[in-house]
Amino acid sequence: MNLKGIHHVAIICSDYERSKAFYTQVLGLQVVAENYRAERDSFKLDLALPDGSQVELFSFVNAPKRVSRPEALGLRHLAFCVECIDTEVMALENHGVDVEAIRVDEYTGKRFTFFQDPDGLPLELYEV
């Protein structure tokens, strides 16, 4: 195996317009493509980060709820790299997003914090 990086992370949301606004207007991800799939009554929104990685945002009618707390079995959270965590926390709070207190990674000495998307998906900012 010779993996080169992460291409995308897929997220299924409960309210497409609300989540689209959060990921584009609050987090600032850029729209690459937006498609409505009539046969599934579903949207698929491809969003890009500056490094080329992507977030795929899906909507499905009556999608079942999934446990998403960090200590639940499975994917724990999605972390975004930032240069200045203080600036990004302030930007999130200016959009009304609740952000946990900034902590320091005991192994790397790097600062990080958690917040949630509109469906409660745990997201992290990690200062690099």
Model pTM? 0.87
Of 41, 3, 27, 2, nearest in space to 80 by CA: 27
* DSSP-derived secondary structure letter, 99: B
One-letter amino acid at 18 equals R
Per-residue model confidence (pLDDT) at position 6: 86
Digit-coded pLDDT (tens) for 71-124:
777 777 899 999 999 999 999 999 999 999 999 999 999 999 999 999 988 999
- Number of Cβ atoms within 10 Å of the Cβ of 29: 21
- Quickly list DSSP for 108-121: T--EEEEEE-TT--
Digit-coded pLDDT (tens) for 9-56:
999 999 999 999 999 999 999 999 999 999 989 999 999 999 999 999
User: Phi and psi dihedrals of 20, rounded to 5?
Assistant: -60, -45
Digit-coded pLDDT (tens) for 42-52:
999 999 999 99
